[in-house]
Structure 1
Amino acid sequence: MFLINMKYMKKIIYCLVFLPMFFSSIVYAKEPEITSIAIDNVWSGHRIKPYLLTRGEQQFVAYYDANRQMTVAHRQLGGKWRYYKVDSWLGWDSHNYVTMELDSEGYLHVMGNMHADPLEYFRMSEPLNVRSLKRVSVMAEKSLEKRMTYPVFLRNKQEQLIVKYRDGGSGNGSEIYNIYNTQSKSWSRLHANTFLDGEGKMSGYFEGPTLGPDGMFHLIWVWRNTPNAASNHSLSYAKSEDLINWQNSNGEDISLPITAKSAEVVDPVPPFAGMINGNVKIGFDHNKQPIISYHKYDANGDTQIYVARKEGKGWGAVQISDWKGFRWDFDGHGSLGRFKVKPYSPELLGNNKLTILVRRNDDVMRFILDSDSLKTIKVEEADIYPPIINAATEVANSHLSKGSGLIKLENHVFKGKGDSSAFGKKFYLSWLTQPGNRDSAHSYISQPSVLTLSGINDSN
């Protein structure tokens, strides 16, 4: 049974009147305009992430259907969807997300369903024809494609397609980059060596590379010694102009592979000190300098939010929260389920201010910081995504909200990737799932959820 916050009740009532389950177009007074459509019934038995990509007028959604099969849908904006299912099925592992990117010739590349698993990669044989997706058995080097994890597609400044992934296991893995040649339709290694090497002692968990306003790609990561999530340590940084040659924050060259000894450390947080992979985020201040948000334990053992920024030849860290008696212990293996605290990337505000969204349990707050000192000016209530998306999701999944109440489902939102907006809209996916269960099966499998795509006016 769903418990709906009363402040959203009015929106939900309006949705029940004007938003049919499978298609809607709603305009509220003083509310953003939203258009929502149902994509498909999808697996809801545990938390798993779909993907939404918009490039120009072309839009793609990749997800696992109600039978756990990887599915890709394509449309030209405003047109009808065309679907295709590939021969890949999801297990219970929440690491096995799906990701994709379009190359400069209009061929879609799809990867996913890998957590220290052999290559799962599909590529179109005809431009913009989703039903031409075919499995590719070897990407660039078969010996490095047997235990693949965390695939990420990105583009360099020349719009060439690049993919990166981890080869090996948690606490014992190397980072690999490949680049795609559209003429030969083949991949090759971007670097002669591995990009990052834990030397059999640790693995790097990355955020980025992110192209900054200074024209450089910025990369941050934490090291992790073992599969135990609490063994994360040493927030680190590197930057590059071309993703091939890398430097530290002082512009000094870093030879590859980067190791724990050669990496630049932003904050030497030790293992079991409250820092976790996935919760280090990068943004940029008014001077185009990178600024990093993350969390760790303070001197009293409480979890606190920090920001770090370059100061002189080194980095300075500032504690921006002042929580008493709040400590998130996340010891253990496997997917941890819903994080008890999650910071988002720092963003610019006017009047020389910065803002950082933070979710702590069910509360979302916005920290307003002075851009010069990084000190907290105020903290206010906030929303991570437009709340009207939640209303559309609840209506589309009313069949679940009226269920037996044996399991409380979680509401998820994925902000679309690729072009930031198209036809004046920003796009989001939303769906419901059971909570994470350390990558193990639940005793009960919920009914499929409706995966909903919502377009919200970019002007709002």
Structure 2
Amino acid sequence: MHSKRNLKTRYMFLCCLVFLSALISFASQSRQQDRTVTSIAVDRVWSGHRIKPYLLTRGKQQFVAYYDANRQMTVAHRQLGGKWRYYKVDSWLGWDSHNYVTMELDSEGYLHVMGNMHADPLEYFRMSEPLNIRSLKRVSVMAEKSLEKRMTYPVFLRNKQDQLIVKYRDGGSGNGSEVYNIYNVQSKSWSRLYANTFLDGEGKMSGYFEGPTLGPDGFFHLIWVWRNTPNAATNHSLSYAKSEDLINWQNSNGEGISLPITAKNAEVVDPVPPFGGMINGNVKIGFDQKKRPIISYHKYDENGDTQMYVARKDGADWKAVKISDWKGFRWEFGGHGSLGRFKVRLYAPELLADNKIGVLVRRNDDVMRFILDSDSLKRIKVEEADIYPPIINAATEAANPHLLQDNGLIKLEKHVAEGKGDSSAFDKKFYLSWLTQPGNRDSAHGNISQPSVLILSGINDSN
């Protein structure tokens, strides 16, 4: 008994040392980068496989949606600087890494939450009292029950009139259709935004989307790839459409596109063939100094190597420019289910000073930024970069010494997600960070790690 007590004391002491060491490192990094960071624990969360929480800030209201240590969908709310209030809804996570959770506030202050769906029936919760998360209630039908039986990839967005819209895929990978609904705050009801489905793969393929993204030109811009089967390698044909009102759609020349959009009437940016090295989730849209859309993506080059490209409209056609020159590197992906950690992860093109464009890319564990001339899109240089402020890692490690000690037995991944919505009244950027085991093609692991502490960090420049 005495020896067990000593072991427990030594273990707690070692944990404290690890914690203090991480805090010292964390404070040091904060000073070195001339930034101030405030990190707080939100909750203990599921870490058995990769699954993404969601952080939303609207004005001074902040919400975090996630799966707790027991896999139950949970929502936390606070006013910035205040205490968290929690509520758990009746939805539990399995092993599918597609089953994220997402949410948005409507213009009257009612929170809408969706998630835990991968070709599953509707999982949707809505407040019955403004800004009261404990008034969240399950809603059994959103707009049309027949289209809410095999739902995947829900995304909330707002139009220019601040009306709430949700989009999702109806059907399966390779044979799905895109559905949009719009919310009426007076009647507290949803209706179809379009009489027809927005996009129809006609039973042959489905679309995987990025956006719609409101650009600096006042248009909503939408890009997507088509996929023929559940095999991720069958992605093809990078495509584009835009709209001023999310109702009437057109191609890049301003010519109207009748709905539903199909492979026959869609504008193709780059006709990448199936098994051509392009994958959904890795096509991103940004805008150049002249407010023109510019798209980043990857595909195989003429030698079969994976390469980074950007595309922009040039006269009557889209111009694709190869910006990497990787030799002997080929990311051969494919198969069904969640793919796990991508060997390449890319981000939207961003504006830089001196008429330059930046494209941030992670290849394996190396993070780099391609610096391009905005006029020609030619590469100027490649520099080392960080995806997120490195000081966030120190906060995550400080909160999870119990998991880091187990790292030799169970493989873990560090994750960071940037918050959505508004910056706060204090002009901070907010991030969530946590640890999980890798994905396992949506199947169970042989061992399950202890819960991770989910950290929220607010970061601002101190100068």
- TM-score higher than 0.5: yes
Aligned equivalent of 1:125:
128
1:316 positional shift: 0.4
Shift of 1:30: 3.7
Counterparts of 1:61-460 in structure 2, within 5 Å, are: 61-403=64-406, 405-457=408-460
- What secondary structure, in the 3-state scheme, does the structure 2 residue paired with 1:377 have? strand
Distance change in 2, residues 1:244/1:173 (3 Å): same
Task: Give, as a single letter, the amino acid of the residue that structure 1 aligns with 2:386.
Answer: D
Q: CA deviation at 1:458?
A: 5.1
Give the SS at the match of 1:424. Answer: coil
CA contact (8 A) 2:181 2:192 kept: yes
Larger mean CA deviation between 167-176 and 450-459 belongs to 450-459
Say if 1:25 and 1:33, in contact at 8 Å, map to a contact too: no
In structure 1, C-alpha distance between the alignment counterparts of 2:25 and 2:334, rounded to whole Å:
46
The AA in structure 1 aligned to 2:441 is R
TM-score by length of 2: 0.94
> CA separation of 1:13/1:379 partners in 2, compared to 1, >3 Å: closer, same or farther?
farther
SS in 1 for 2:134: helix
What amino acid is aligned across from residue 450 of structure 1 in structure 2?
V
1:152 Cα shift? 0.0
Q: Give the Cα separation in 1 of the matches to 2:41 and 2:85.
A: 13
Structure number with higher helix proportion: 2
Give 1:18-57 correspondences, 5 Å limit: 27-57=30-60
Per-residue deviation at 1:459? 6.1
1:26, 1:35 within 8 Å by CA — same for their partners in 2?
A: no
What SS class does the counterpart of residue 403 from structure 1 fall into? Answer: helix
Give the percent of matched residue pairs that are identical in Structure 1 and Structure 2.
Answer: 86
Aligned length: 446
The answer to whether the Cα contact below 8 Å between 2:370 and 2:379 also exists between their aligned partners in 1 is yes
Structure 1 CA distance, aligned partners of 2:30 and 2:362?
28
Displacement after TM superposition at 1:32 (Å) = 1.5
Query: Offset of 1:353 from its aligned partner?
Result: 0.4
* Aligned-partner SS, 1:384: coil
Task: Quickly say closer, same or farther: Cα 1:168–1:379, change in 2 above 3 A.
Answer: same
Give the superposed CA RMSD. Answer: 1.6
Equivalent position amino acid for 2:251 in 1:
N
Residues in 2 aligned to 1:420 and 1:233: alpha-carbon distance in whole angstroms: 36
Give the Å deviation of 1:408.
Answer: 1.7
Q: Structure 1's 458 and 116: CA in aligned 2 closer, same or farther, altered over 3 A? A: farther
Instruction: Mark the CA change 1:166 to 1:25 in structure 2 (over 3 Å): closer, same or farther.
Output: farther
> How many Å apart are 1:15 and its aligned residue?
4.2
Q: Which runs of 4+ in 1 moved over 6 A?
A: none
The 3 A distance-change label for structure 1 pair 352 and 18 is closer
CA distance in 2, matches of 1:98, 1:270: 32
Distance of aligned partners of 1:404 and 1:317 in 2 relative to their CA distance in 1, 3 Å threshold: closer
Give the C-alpha shift of residue 41 in structure 1: 0.4
Tell me by how many angstroms 1:139 deviates: 0.1
Shift of 1:27: 4.9
* Contact 1:421–1:458 under 8 Å retained in 2: no
Residue type of the alignment partner of 1:177: Y
1:299 deviates by 0.3
Distance 2:167 2:314 in 1: 30
* 1:14 Cα deviation after fit: 6.5
Supply the distance in 1 between the matched residues of 2:439 and 2:305 (Cα, whole angstroms).
25
Instruction: Map Cα deviations across residues 366-390 of structure 1 (whole Å, 9 max, x no partner).
Output: 0000001101000010000000001
- TM-score norm. by structure 1 comes to 0.95
Separation in structure 2 between the aligned mates of residue 221 and residue 27 of structure 1, nearest angstrom: 39
Say which is worse superposed, 107-116 or 25-34, in terms of deviation. Answer: 25-34
Q: Name the amino acid aligned to 2:322.
A: Q
